[in-house]
C-alpha cells in the first residue's frame, strides 16, 4: 500500500471518528443524560459530610472523568480538523 493510500485511510478513519463525536456531542439525549449525571454528582458532593473526604474525592473523580470523556470527543474533532488543514496546505 502506498504512503498516500495509508494517509487517505487514516484521514478517512479520523473523519468517521470526528463525525461520530460531533453527532454524540450534538445529541440532545446524550447532553440531557450528561447534564443529569453532572448535577447528581455535584449534589452528592455537596451533601457529603465533611468527614467523608474519601467519598467526596471519589465523586469528584467521577465528575472529572465525565469532563475528560467530553474533552476526548472534542479532541477527535479538533485532531481531524487540524489534520485536514495540514493536508490542504
Domain range for 7: 3-88
Instruction: Judge whether residue 73 has pLDDT over 80.
Output: yes
Determine the Cα angle at 16 with ends 70 and 89, to 5°. Answer: 95
Rounded to an integer, what distance in angstroms lies between the CA atom of residue 8 and that of residue 87? 10
Provide the domain count of the chain: 1
What pLDDT score does 87 carry? 75
Rounded to an integer, what distance in angstroms lies between the CA atom of residue 78 and that of residue 63? 23
Sign of CA dihedral 81, 72, 27, 17: positive
Rounded mean pLDDT of 27-50? 97
Residue 86 pLDDT grade (very low, low, confident, very high; cuts 50, 70, 90) = confident
pTM of the model: 0.79
Going by C-beta distance under 8 Å and a sequence separation of 6 or more, which residues neighbour residue 63?
A: 38, 41, 42, 45
Amino acid at each position: 500500500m502506498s504512503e498516500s493510500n495509508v494517509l487517505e485511510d487514516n484521514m478517512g478513519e479520523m473523519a468517521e471518528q470526528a463525525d461520530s463525536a460531533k453527532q454524540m456531542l450534538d445529541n440532545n439525549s446524550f447532553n440531557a443524560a450528561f447534564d443529569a449525571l453532572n448535577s447528581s454528582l455535584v449534589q452528592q458532593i455537596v451533601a457529603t459530610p465533611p468527614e467523608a473526604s474519601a467519598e467526596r474525592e471519589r465523586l469528584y473523580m467521577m465528575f472529572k472523568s465525565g469532563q475528560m470523556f467530553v474533552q476526548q470527543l472534542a479532541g477527535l474533532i479538533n485532531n481531524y480538523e487540524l489534520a485536514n488543514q495540514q493536508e490542504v496546505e
